[in-house]
Homo-oligomer: A and B are copies of this chain.
Amino acid sequence: MAEQFTLHEDPRSGNCYKIKLTAALLGLPLATRQYDIMKGETRTPEFLANINANGRIPVLEIRDRESARFLPESNAACWYLASDSDLIPQDRYAQADMLRWMFFEQYNHEPNVATLRFWLTFVGKANLSEQQNAQIMAKRIAGCDALSVMNVELEDRRFLCGDKVTLADIALFAYTHVADEGGFHLSDYPNIAPWIERICSLPRFVPMQ
């Protein structure tokens, strides 16, 4: 039996979408099981015990004849799916450079660009706590900084690591292409829109729901 993959996800999450886009580009079948993070469905005792002790989605379930394994962290799940594919360069430096963008995504981009989208589009400005409101300005600045770093890098290349699409592009595309939902103005970063177009034009591309 070949491995079977199930994504434990909330369809509104860009982190989950990364994994679906990776599977789609690779032509890999991927089942899904939905949770509503707004209702705490990833914090239930059952979820914590069986799916992810960290109480977060996405989690990639990898099932074969002998075992079911649960892999959290979106970028690690993409790495697993894309192993030995063209989405991961084999050259030592190119591979490290790709991972560099994926760590950048989790540290500099997601906590700002994705969090503001979540707060402003899904939670709603009127429902934010005082503490969340106090963080908006800092997250706005840090998110703009992250988009600027990408914009500079995309000045003279088609994709973040060169001529070919890699997991770095998938990881950063997920929340960048919906950054306007977090109040970011992508028109301020002229190299980003053509890069988004290139990704949307890839064979087997699937849009976010």
Across the interface, name the chain B residue whose C-beta is closest to A92: B83
Integer count of this chain's copies in the complex:
2
Most-contacted residue by chain B among A72, A93, A99, A108 (CB, 10 A): A99
A166 CB–B CB distance under 8 Å: no
Q: Flag whether A54 is at the interface (Cβ < 8 A).
A: yes
Query: Which segment, of A23-31, A73-81, A118-126, A173-181, faces chain B?
Result: A73-81
A108 touches B54 (CB 8 A): yes
Are the C-beta atoms of A53 and B149 separated by less than 8 Å? yes
| Contacts from A to B (Cβ < 8 Å) | 53-54, 62, 69, 71-77, 79-80, 83, 92-93, 95-97, 99-100, 102-104, 106-108, 110-111, 130-131, 134-135, 138, 145, 149, 152-153
Known A73-B107, A79-B95; further 11 A-B contacts with Cβ < 8 A: A53-B152, A54-B108, A62-B93, A71-B96, A76-B97, A103-B103, A106-B107, A111-B111, A131-B135, A134-B134, A134-B135
